């Protein structure tokens, strides 16, 4: 399998255009995790040529980074480009934004320890913090870059205006927004900005919390703290609309390209620009189908037909806004 790659400013290694997303591996908001299976899926991804592993401290409150660190042992570190994040804190199971220089300095040391590495390839601000000037956040991250603790910097869930401010204080290589063929808000602003300024977009939610894998129907049950229990797309009546759209997209993909809807969804992300699709998996079998993504492309006619199918079935669309953590409140 030949995996497409692209260059990210600040990194010497070309990065695979599919990255392994590890939020679910952390277990939090995904109904738990299995460490042995998680290590196996990370190593399978690396062995198959997927070199980008995207994680974050908040994924399982350290658990995801710790599992990634264990998976990198026994000679796997050299295969991996590690992208992680900073500037979320948690107290009593609740998550808050915190981009203060003090928090960032504390977090980077914890992250390096959990990942068992001596530098981070790509360090991303997870969410903007309205209580901290972006210039301060950018400055401390740039210091970490100069110190060699990180190689490249990115932001996640930032607006174009916020990226402009960040870029005045530090070199910016990537943006990480939610993006899939059901959630396309960045088409009007962030994606054109990424193209204009030579950045790369890491699209999280490329399979829309599993909807676009084609295995979820109206009767699929979710347990524990699974975020899909509260995701508006998975609640009645919207779930029926999205499931019907996925079924129609699957028919289109198979009749037109001989591919699955999962491959179509990832190919859609890759053909929108300088993008990387983050593919979440907790078990090795959930990486089956990656080989279907490469070696073909969508043209303008295919994009138009996909749009028509989505518009036909999804009458009450909703975005990923429910996932945003709360802003901190200034205490007098």
268 vs 299: CA distance, rounded Å: 10
| CB 138 within 8 Å of CB 163 | no
Whether 242 is a known active-site residue: answer no
pLDDT at 331: 43
Q: Which helix (H) or strand (E) holds 220?
A: none
Q: Which superfamily, per CATH, for 5-214+263-297?
A: NADP-dependent oxidoreductase domain (3.20.20.100)
Tokens of 47: 């062995």
Using alpha carbons, list the distances in angstroms from residue 34 to 83, 108, 286, 287. 21, 25, 14, 16
At residue 24 the predicted structure's pLDDT band, cuts being 50, 70 and 90, is confident
pLDDT at 2: 85
Task: Tell which wins on pLDDT, 153 or 231.
Answer: 153
40-55, pLDDT tens digit by residue?
A: 999 999 999 999 999 9
**Residues, the chain:** 332
Domain boundaries, the chain: 5-214+263-297
259 vs 315: CA distance, rounded Å: 26
Q: What is the mean pLDDT of the chain?
A: 93
242 vs 217: CA distance, rounded Å: 9
Measured over the CA atoms of residue 303, residue 45, residue 190 and residue 294, the dihedral's sign is negative
Rounded to an integer, the average pLDDT of 275-282 is 92
Backbone phi, psi, residue 239, to 5°: -55, -40
Of 184, 192, 213, 209, residue with least CA distance to 311? 184
Please name the residues in contact with 211: beta carbons below 8 A apart, sequence gap of 6 or more.
182, 233, 234, 242, 243, 246
Rounded to an integer, the average pLDDT of 180-204 is 97
Does the pLDDT at position 209 exceed 80? yes
Tokens of 117: 């590495």
Lowest mean pLDDT among 160-164, 219-223, 265-269: 219-223
Q: Which of 59, 123, 193, 242 is catalytic?
A: 59
pLDDT at 332: 38
Q: What percent of the chain has pLDDT over 90?
A: 80
At residue 115 the predicted structure's pLDDT band, cuts being 50, 70 and 90, is very high
């Amino acid at each position: 399998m030949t995996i497409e790659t692209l260059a990210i400013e600040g990194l010497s290694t070309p990065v695979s255009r599919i990255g392994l997303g590890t939020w679910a591996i952390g277990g939090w908001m995904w109904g738990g995790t299995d460490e042995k299976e998680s290590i196996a899926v990370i190593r399978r991804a690396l062995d198959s040529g997927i070199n980008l592993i995207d994680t974050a401290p908040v994924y399982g409150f350290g658990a995801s980074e710790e599992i990634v660190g264990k998976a990198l042992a026994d000679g796997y570190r050299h295969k991996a480009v590690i992208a992680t994040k900073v500037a979320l804190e948690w107290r009593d199971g609740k998550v808050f934004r915190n981009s203060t220089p003090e928090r960032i300095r504390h977090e980077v040391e914890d992250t390096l320890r959990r990942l068992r590495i001596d530098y981070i390839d790509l360090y991303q601000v997870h969410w903007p913090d309205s209580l901290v000037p972006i210039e301060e956040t950018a400055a401390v991250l740039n210091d970490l870059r100069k110190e060699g603790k990180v190689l490249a910097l990115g932001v996640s869930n930032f607006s174009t205006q916020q990226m402009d401010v960040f870029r005045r204080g530090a070199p910016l290589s990537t943006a990480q927004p939610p993006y899939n063929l059901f959630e396309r808000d960045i088409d009007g602003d962030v994606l054109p900005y990424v193209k204009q300024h030579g950045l790369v977009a890491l699209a999280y939610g490329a399979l829309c919390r599993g909807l676009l894998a084609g295995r979820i129907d109206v009767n699929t049950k979710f347990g524990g703290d699974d975020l899909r229990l509260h995701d508006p797309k998975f609640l009645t009546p919207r779930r029926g609309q999205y499931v019907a759209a996925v079924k129609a997209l699957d028919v289109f993909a198979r009749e037109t390209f001989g591919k699955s809807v999962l491959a179509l969804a990832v190919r859609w992300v890759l053909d929108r620009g300088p993008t990387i699709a983050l593919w979440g998996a907790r078990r090795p079998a959930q990486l089956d189908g990656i080989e279907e993504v490469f070696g073909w492309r969508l043209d303008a006619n295919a994009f138009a037909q996909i749009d028509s199918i989505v518009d036909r079935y999804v009458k009450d669309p909703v975005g990923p806004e429910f996932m945003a953590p709360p802003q901190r409140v200034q205490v007098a």
